[in-house]
Amino acid sequence: MLAVCVLALALVVASSAVVALVRSPHRADGTGTGDTATSARHWVNTWSAMPQLTEPHNMPPAPFTGDRAVLVDTTLRQTVRVTTGGDRLRLRFSNAFGGSALPLTAVRVALPLDGRAGVGAIEPGTSRPVTFSGRRSTTVPVGAQVVSDPLDFALRPGTNLTVTAYLAEGQASLALTSHPGSRTTSYLVHGDHAEDADLSGATPTDHWYLLSDVEVLSRPAATAVAVLGDSLTDGRGSTTNGNNRWPDQLFDRLQRQPGTRHIAVVNQAAGGNRVLNDGLGPNALARLDRDVLAHSAVGQLIVFEGVNDLGTAEATPAAQQRVAADLIAGYEQIIVRAHAQGIRVYGATLLPFGGNTPYDDAAGHREAARQTVNAWIRGSGRFDAVLDFDRAVRDPAEPSRLLPGLHDGDWLHLNPEGYRLLAEAVPARLFRRG
């Protein structure tokens, strides 16, 4: 009888321990909440900018770039537009291309004045300090990134967020990590003004520096679609501070439908980027792990890249046949690697560039290569779905060219209306639950 009682007591103790473990209110990653319905929430990447090595003409303007260091005793204020929302956030800062360690003295988040993008002022009372392993400052090693501690800060879908960083020492190198094609205005001022409500007298610059990601703790259904692309996805031809690149407009469209409101859109594009060879930033095959596979909650990937590979290859039959074949092989590699992580991959056809200097060639060899690549995207069955962007914006009367009213003047990049048509060409059913 005594043995039975001891056994019963042990079972009660064990059961209590299991319940306590399940109901534990805190976890190191900030996801523990104390009830089953919300403990399944997870981190979702809600905004991103592809890290690049900053070219000399895109460095911070004088006097914020010196002879041997950059951003010394400088406050940097930037706005970014998140996609899906959440009630907790964390930031990622990248030193992927830095030539020295990156010391961040203080970082704060806030809501921008009137909720606008590209403003140097914040809404009073919304500023909050960001910590790293419990500390107000951190140092990002060369080639690395740092993830902040989770911070209680509610963000609605489509909200603009202000991130302010102060660097007392700056970075002791002229190799700086940035995303030049921000199409969003940032602000620089000397001294520690991280807590200031308005950076009066600050120097504006249309680039993002150092900040690479914003993540939110979101509901279980929330996932992200990442976009691997070049300047057509980075938004050349879109409106500065307008957030009307085609991924922005895709997100807006998905938000209007209840069945797709759980989708975050993560823009991993850069002007001049290529699939096969480095250009402005590492080639897509080299950056796939960093920019897509390592990101939180990515469930789908859109591949819309390759026009720069065709346009920079020699305009001869042999060279264009070779680059088309290599592009197709590159797409297959992306598909295989993404599928290994459970990510569905959607291929977008390449847009026409007839009339563009220097990509259009009189003999039409690059156009022939584009047709070869697009035929494979449409017909190979290798992608999980096809987005026929070419069909959405080409001129039916002259299919090697864009419709005249949709480009920004160079017959290659689109205007906001052209980007709207790309967003409309993405079937919403690809993202619906169930």
Cα separation, 131 vs 129, whole angstroms: 7
Return the minimum-mean-pLDDT range out of 10-14, 98-102, 248-252, 272-276.
10-14
C-alpha 360: how far from its chain's center?
30
Answer yes or no: are the C-beta atoms of 30 and 217 closer than 8 Å.
Answer: yes
pLDDT score, position 1: 44
Model pTM? 0.91
Model confidence band, residue 397 (pLDDT cutoffs 50, 70, 90): very high
Which one, of 304, 239, 316, 311, lies nearest residue 277 by Cα?
311
Residue 18 has pLDDT above 80, yes or no: no
| Residue 336 to residue 343: CA distance in whole angstroms | 10
Spatial contact of 183 and 248, defined as CB atoms under 8 Å apart: no
Sequence-distant (6+) residues with CB within 8 A of 294 are none
Do the Cβ atoms of 170 and 59 come closer than 8 Å? no
pLDDT in tens, 119-144: 999 999 999 999 999 999 999 999 99
**353-367, pLDDT tens digit by residue?**
999 999 999 999 999
C-alpha closest to that of 190 among 68, 52, 66, 56: 66
Residue 117 has pLDDT above 80, yes or no: yes
In this prediction, residue 280 has a pLDDT band, given cuts at 50, 70 and 90, of confident
**370, containing H or E segment:** helix 365-379
| Burial of residue 63 (number of CB atoms within 10 Å: 0-12, 13-18, 19+) | exposed
| Share of residues in the chain with pLDDT > 90 (%) | 88
Is pLDDT of 31 > 60? no
Greatest Cα-to-Cα distance within the chain, rounded to the nearest angstrom: 97
Least confident span in 17-26, 193-202, 212-221, 232-241: 17-26
Of the CA atoms within 13 Å of residue 426, those in its CB half-sphere come to 30
Question: What are the tens digits of pLDDT across the range 143-176?
Answer: 999 999 999 999 999 999 999 999 999 999 999 9
- The answer on pLDDT for 16 being more than 50 is no
CA distance 144 to 95: 5
Long-range contacts of 40-43 (CB under 8 A, 24+ apart): 40/220, 41/86, 41/217, 41/218, 41/219, 41/220, 42/217, 42/218, 42/220, 42/222, 42/296, 42/297, 43/90, 43/215, 43/216, 43/217, 43/218, 43/296, 43/297
Mean pLDDT of 293-302: 97
| C-alpha–C-alpha distance, residues 147 and 163, integer Å | 14
Q: What token pair was written down for 33?
A: 């909440």
Mean pLDDT of the chain: 92
